[in-house]
Amino acid sequence: MKPTHMQPWQQLQSMAPHFREMSLRQLFSSTPNRGETYHLTAGEIYLDYAKNRFDNTVLKTLLDLARECGVEKTRDAMFAGQKINTTENRAVLHTALRNQSENSIELDGIDVMPAIRAVLEQMRTFSRAVREGEWRGATGKRIRTVINIGIGGSDLGPVMATEALKWYSLRELQVKFVSNIDGSHLAEALHGAEPGETLFIIASKTFTTDETMTNAASARHWLVEALGEDAVARHFVALSTNLEAVAEFGIDPANAFAFWDWVGGRYSLTSAIGLSLMIAIGTDNFDELLRGFYTVDEHFRTAPLEQNMPVLLALIGIWNTNFLGAETEAILPYEQYLHRLPAYLQQASMESNGKSVTKDGQRVDYMTGPVLWGEPGTNGQHAFYQLIHQGTRLIPCDFIVFAQSLNNPDGHNEHHRKLLANVFAQSQALAFGKTADEVRADGVAETLVPHKVFEGNRPSNTLLLPKLTPSTLGQLIALYEHKIFVQGVIWGINSFDQWGVELGKVLAKDIYEHLDATDLLRYDSSTAVLLRKAQQLAGDQPT
């Protein structure tokens, strides 16, 4: 049944107009203890969701909706390895990758845990060898530059987490990431790199992705030019499910790290895809990251829906998107090390829930995944927050902040105290704004009053954690993964396929073959003119 046909959805629809009018000022004055009431803890994450426009009845009805949509049943099916990715007939078992219990997890009658543990052990051995200088390049030198070549799910997770955990990383080793087909990306990564000291990690689930294979071939060429063909085995390793293609590329099968088709690309950070991260931060920190993921996996699996943080976050998102008319969500980490988190979550959310047909192929007649975006605070405050505060759109925000800083450059913790003051001030300003009378009371000239009014009533969540550690990072990522999952279940869509990226790939292949063609009649007029113009500008125009 479509969610819109369910009773809780219809009840929520009838409540929504009231809450579109209702202000957070009113809600806080009628229930002054909202802050004490509307919060949750999961692992080390404290979530304050009081600054959203809802009351107990809305909350209860949202929870009814979750139950009626089968969130609990589908969650249990995911953890149990059932093939919930129906369009690809695959299980969705990224949670098994970080399972810290002794329990087996069976897929088609086979326990997946021994293979997961074996690959993790292979990764640990290899990471230690690289970090400790035992792994030598073809000329006997130790590795100083590691370049991960991958894209999408084989890039964004490792990049985000390597940046996030830079404080914990081995500084003598440079870990770089190349994803774009644009040759400048690889060229810049190779700039100044010494072939004898460079290790390439080719990260590709399928080992067929054009961007990755093109970059890998150019990297191979660069290395072979300098050190000869025999050097490839000491300078290339692979992370893939396609071990045959890895061998064909010339990578020693002993240096291939496997994973499985039940690990979706955007959920693959804790699979072999995390090798570059493990090399950067070391095995103990990587293990701590896995334990962090597991803490929130267990919370999601066992906590009653009322106290289940991913479920609550998902439901607030649904309320804002489907009932209050929000079209986007901003992720605003007040932590410089999390500067790639918005980009990472953008893929996690938008590739998972950017769908317009239900699992059984029906066109939806309600909004699904919102546009997700963001930048770290306080930089965003000096850039786009203007629109969040005074623009015409409703933009729910997630503020993410840590009580302790990893760095204290002035010795007095002033930077961090100011950072904290800013994050709490922003959610306060967004929620409560500043009325015309309050502006006038500051002695502002009447003509300027409308410009200085803040309507407020902008919803936000604040996620407060003690300190950025591998564990808290794992907890945060798992929280968002499961939030996205719950929303997908309620919208009735398959969050685990990504057919929407296919058409562009096929057309690019065709255009690539006709880039220099003179006869462009096969294309629409706009594309044909663009191609001709590009040919002219590139100096290839046939006479």
Binding residues for ligand G6Q, per CB under 6 A?
151-154, 204-206, 209, 212, 264-266, 351, 498
CB of 20 to ligand G6Q, least distance (A): 35
**CA dist., res. 410 & res. 408, Å (int):** 6
Given 5, 172, 191, 382, the catalytic residue: 382
Given 351, 355, 359, 481, the catalytic residue: 351
Residues in Cβ contact with 213 at an 8 Å cutoff, skipping those fewer than 6 apart: 204, 207
CB of 504 to ligand G6Q, least distance (A): 11
Mapping DSSP to helix (H, G, I), strand (E, B) and coil, where does residue 133 land?
coil
Specify the residue, 244 or 414, whose C-beta has the smaller distance to ligand G6Q: 244
Q: 382 an active-site residue?
A: yes
Specify the residue, 213 or 406, whose C-beta has the smaller distance to ligand G6Q: 213
**CA dist., res. 333 & res. 336, Å (int):** 8
CB of 481 to ligand G6Q, least distance (A): 12
The torsion angle over the Cα atoms of residues 376, 382, 385 and 386, rounded to 10 degrees, is -170
**CA dist., res. 96 & res. 78, Å (int):** 10
For 177, the enclosing helix (H) or strand (E) is strand 174-178
CB of 489 to ligand G6Q, least distance (A): 18
Residues in Cβ contact with 271 at an 8 Å cutoff, skipping those fewer than 6 apart: 94, 97, 119, 239, 259, 260, 263
Are residues 83 and 91 in contact, defined by beta-carbon separation less than 8 angstroms? yes
CB of 191 to ligand G6Q, least distance (A): 24
Specify the residue, 271 or 457, whose C-beta has the smaller distance to ligand G6Q: 271
Specify the residue, 308 or 368, whose C-beta has the smaller distance to ligand G6Q: 368
User: In the β-sheet with 39-42, what is the strand arrangement from edge to edge?
Assistant: 39-42, 45-48, 460-465, 397-402, 328-334, 371-373
Specify the residue, 206 or 535, whose C-beta has the smaller distance to ligand G6Q: 206
Specify the residue, 153 or 488, whose C-beta has the smaller distance to ligand G6Q: 153
Quick count: other Cβ atoms within 10 Å of Cβ 243?
15
Tokens for 489, please give them: 């279940």
CB of 249 to ligand G6Q, least distance (A): 13
CB of 151 to ligand G6Q, least distance (A): 5
Instruction: Give yes or no for a cis peptide into 378 (omega within 30° of 0).
Output: yes
Q: 505 an active-site residue?
A: yes
Q: 102 an active-site residue?
A: no
Of 24, 19, 52, 26, nearest in space to 38 by CA: 52
Question: Which residues in 382-412 are b (16+ Cβ under 10 Å) and which e?
Answer: eebbeebbeeeebbbbbbbbbeebbeeeeee
Residues in Cβ contact with 45 at an 8 Å cutoff, skipping those fewer than 6 apart: 296, 309, 463, 464, 465, 472, 475, 476, 479
Residues in Cβ contact with 133 at an 8 Å cutoff, skipping those fewer than 6 apart: 142, 143
Given 18, 467, 505, 533, the catalytic residue: 505
The 3-state secondary structure of 56-119 reads HHHHHHHHHHHHHCCHHHHHHHHHCCCCCECCCCECCCHHHHCCCCCCCCEECCEECHHHHHHH
The 3-state secondary structure of 137-149 reads CCCCCECCEEEEE
Are residues 481 and 309 in contact, defined by beta-carbon separation less than 8 angstroms? no
CB of 150 to ligand G6Q, least distance (A): 6
Specify the residue, 75 or 266, whose C-beta has the smaller distance to ligand G6Q: 266
Specify the residue, 127 or 209, whose C-beta has the smaller distance to ligand G6Q: 209
Can you list the positions of beta strands (E) in 421-541? 460-465
Specify the residue, 264 or 492, whose C-beta has the smaller distance to ligand G6Q: 264
CB of 157 to ligand G6Q, least distance (A): 9
Residue nearest to ligand G6Q (CB): 152
Pairing type for strands 198-203 and 236-240 reads parallel
Between the alpha carbon of residue 222 and those of residues 186, 196, 218, 249, the distances in Å are: 11, 11, 6, 15
If you search the block for the tokens 């125009």, which residue do you land on?
A: 541
**Known catalytic residues?**
351, 382, 505
